[in-house]
């Protein structure tokens, strides 16, 4: 229960910030600033710039991703935007369009 | 790989904003939303919004049900019910057909339950209570000039204060002279101008009006003083003595 969950029918239009894990099954537009982990689930849609420690994408992300630790693009995900992260994993079947910067 | 997904989908029936999360903006949804953190902006749900004890919502809220154990600052509109539990704090207006406020909850704002406008009747009641003392005072004056008392019951403080006025026209119709001398010893305010005026009927009318304008301005308490019961009544009616002092000073 410690996790924050954005449910599948929820639309957040604005800014999310905080210090705990975030699981997105719904839609988030705007800005996300976390110091923990983000999981964008299969039906999750993020149209936002994302700052976080780690992000795992099963769904769709449109926007720049800044991860201080790791960015994982899983199979069937769709990501459009630049990714800045020291570790980037892109699985087979992932769709990605944008710049990759692994220099931190 | 699948581990995080399964755990999250188990919880997926409910959206949770954790205690370390702040959301600024608009949230729309068709499922329960449990707020343990902070939300600023607006919330529109078709289901239930729970604001947990650690939750802070500074937003316009629309939902089917709203259950508050934490803090909401903003107007709340619920289709079904609003519940303020112990420890809840809500500052804003509530529109909901059902409202439950538990002991220990804090709330400031207007409440509107559908189909009722609570506020206008309340204002009318306050007006009614404020006019009652005037009418009561006026009826004491009517007791002095008894013949017109029936008219004073129509309404309002003005009617109640005028009772002597119809009495004077009645006396005028019979014989103008006896009416005015009878009234003057008791209530005349400015004697020097009036003896000459009393000879004609029209002037007599003006005298009566002046007398009763004087009555409005607070001559009644002095009359009651003459009756010997004026002191406690003067204390009861706060408005009359303040106006009556002017007249008393002229005397």
Per-residue pLDDT reduced to its tens digit, B101-125: 999 999 999 999 865 544 443 334 4
pLDDT value, residue A3: 82
pLDDT value, residue B244: 52
- Let me know: does B55 contact B38? Beta carbons within 8 Å: yes
Decide if B29 and A18 are in contact by the 8 Å CB cutoff.
no
Is residue B117 domain-resident?
Answer: no
Same domain, B244 and B138: yes
pLDDT in tens, B119-175: 443 334 444 444 444 444 444 444 444 444 444 444 444 444 444 444 444 444 444
Is residue B121 domain-resident?
Answer: no
Chain B residue with minimum CA distance to A24: B8
Same domain, B141 and B104: no
Name the minimum distance, in Å, from the CA of B35 to any CA of chain A. 9
* Mean pLDDT lowest among A79-93, B2-16, B67-81, B140-154: B140-154
Higher pLDDT pick, B186 / A6: A6
Global pTM value = 0.57
Is residue B119 domain-resident?
Answer: no
Same domain, B213 and B156: yes
Same domain, B108 and B133: no
Q: B8 pLDDT exceeds 50?
A: no
- Give the model's confidence band at B14: pLDDT under 50 very low, under 70 low, under 90 confident, else very high: confident
Same domain, B9 and B105: yes
Task: Report the relative pairing of strands B56-68 and B111-112 from DSSP bridges.
Answer: unpaired
Same domain, B209 and B156: yes
- The whole domain housing B44 covers 3-112
**Alpha-carbon Rg for chain A in angstroms:** 12
Q: A19 pLDDT exceeds 50?
A: yes
Last residue of a domain, one of B53, B80, B112: B112
Same domain, B46 and B18: yes
Decide if A7 and B31 are in contact by the 8 Å CB cutoff.
yes
Same domain, B97 and B199: no
Task: Please name the residues in contact with B175: beta carbons below 8 A apart, sequence gap of 6 or more.
Answer: none
Same domain, B153 and B231: yes
Residues in A closer than 8 angstroms to B24, CB to CB, are: 14-17
Q: Largest Cα–Cα distance in chain A?
A: 37
Last residue of a domain, one of B81, B112, B143: B112
Name the minimum distance, in Å, from the CA of B70 to any CA of chain A. 17
Last residue of a domain, one of B86, B112, B138: B112
Is residue B120 domain-resident?
Answer: no
Q: Is A80 helix (H, G, I), strand (E, B) or coil?
A: strand
- Report the range out of B13-22, B39-48, B162-171, B225-234 with the highest average pLDDT: B39-48
């Amino acid at each position: 229960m410690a996790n924050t969950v954005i449910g599948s029918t929820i639309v957040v239009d604005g800014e999310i910030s905080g210090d705990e894990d975030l699981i997105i099954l719904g839609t988030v537009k705007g800005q996300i600033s976390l110091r923990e982990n983000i999981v964008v689930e299969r039906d999750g849609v993020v149209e936002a710039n994302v700052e976080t420690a780690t992000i795992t994408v099963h769904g769709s992300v449109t926007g720049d991703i800044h991860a201080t630790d790791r960015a994982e693009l899983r199979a069937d995900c769709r990501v459009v935007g630049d990714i800045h992260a020291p570790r980037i994993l892109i699985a087979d079947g992932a769709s990605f369009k944008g710049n990759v910067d692994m220099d931190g | 790989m699948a581990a995080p997904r399964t755990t999250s989908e188990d919880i997926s029936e409910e959206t949770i904003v954790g205690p370390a999360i702040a959301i600024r903006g608009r949230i729309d949804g068709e499922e329960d939303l449990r707020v343990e953190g902070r939300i600023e902006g607006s919330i529109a749900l078709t289901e239930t919004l729970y604001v947990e004890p650690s939750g802070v919502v500074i937003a316009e809220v629309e939902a089917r049900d709203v259950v508050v154990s934490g803090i909401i600052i903003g107007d709340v509109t619920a289709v079904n019910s609003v519940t303020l539990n112990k420890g809840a704090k809500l500052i804003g207006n509530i529109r909901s057909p059902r409202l439950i406020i538990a002991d220990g909850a804090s709330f400031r704002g207007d409440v509107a339950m559908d189909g009722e406008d609570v506020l206008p009747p309340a204002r009318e009641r306050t007006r009614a209570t404020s006019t009652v003392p005037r009418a009561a005072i006026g009826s004491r004056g009517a007791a002095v000039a008894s013949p017109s008392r029936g008219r004073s019951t129509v309404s309002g403080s003005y009617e109640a204060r005028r009772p002597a006025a119809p009495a004077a026209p009645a006396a005028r119709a019979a014989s103008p002279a006896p009416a005015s001398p009878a009234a003057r010893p008791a209530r005349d305010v400015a004697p020097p101008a009036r003896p000459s005026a009393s000879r004609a009927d029209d002037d007599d009318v003006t005298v009566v009006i002046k007398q009763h304008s004087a009555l409005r301005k607070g001559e009644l308490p002095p009359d009651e003083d003459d009756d010997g019961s004026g002191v406690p009544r003067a204390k009861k009616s706060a408005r009359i003595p303040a106006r009556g002092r002017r007249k008393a000073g002229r005397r």
